[in-house]
Amino acid sequence: MSLYVLNDTLWKIMSSKHERPDKMLPMSTIPWFYWEKEAERRGNPAGVRRVSDSTRPLTMKFQDDNLLIKGGGGDFCGLLEGRIVDKYKGVRPLFIPGSTGPKKTVPNYEAQKIEIKIDMKTSERKLYPSPIKELDYYFSEHPRVFYEHGIQINAKGDSIILKVGNRKETTLRGNANIFIGKDFNEMPDSGDVLMFHVWLYILNELLFR
């Protein structure tokens, strides 16, 4: 799951990105994606690490006209210099004056429990969405995952409630895109693929007409 929120405040933050300043980063993802200097290489120029939380897997529940999504993932906390982003400790980064390391700004994602409630009555859905050029997918599942085995849910921010960790629930501002998908690269012929696509069809067509 990847949640993108588009509003003027976030676009202003994106404009200070070291790379791809014209593309929007996800605000929340399940699982957790984060930056690490040691991960940077030709095949991974953004230095992205992906960590799944087996104790808090992604779950979805239909309640009245709402879709409830929960799981352990990442919460966007702004852009920081690489030298003060240390995700292995699982805590907020500390800044030590004079510390060495990369000074370029990188996305800062904290490992958190993510909960999203979507009012599906006012949403629009699209199966197997193509990549959107204004979105930055580096700290998200690859757009191929959503294109081959996923769905896109579009809604106004005021119809979505986000809760991160122990913080209060927040109603989003602007427009939101939620992508839900599953990577079946390791089992392309499995019956699980068919069952998942049946679930996607139900979500798109039957439950919220």
Q: What is the mean pLDDT of the chain?
A: 89
Q: How far apart are CA 38 and CA 17, in angstroms?
A: 20
Categorize the per-residue pLDDT at 89 as very low, low, confident or very high, splitting at 50, 70 and 90.
Answer: very low
Instruction: Kindly tell me if the per-residue pLDDT of 192 is higher than 90.
Output: no
pLDDT of residue 207: 52
Any idea where the domains of the chain sit in the sequence?
2-206
Categorize the per-residue pLDDT at 99 as very low, low, confident or very high, splitting at 50, 70 and 90.
Answer: low
pLDDT of residue 88: 47
127-184 confidence digits (pLDDT tens)? 999 999 999 999 999 999 999 999 999 999 999 999 999 999 999 999 999 999 999 8
Residues 52-70: what's their mean pLDDT?
92
Instruction: Kindly tell me if the per-residue pLDDT of 93 is higher than 70.
Output: no
pLDDT of residue 100: 53
**How far, CA to CA in Å, does 53 sit from each of 31, 114, 141?**
7, 11, 15
Cα 143 → chain centroid: 11
Q: Is the dihedral angle over the CA atoms 106, 108, 114, 120 positive or is it negative?
A: negative
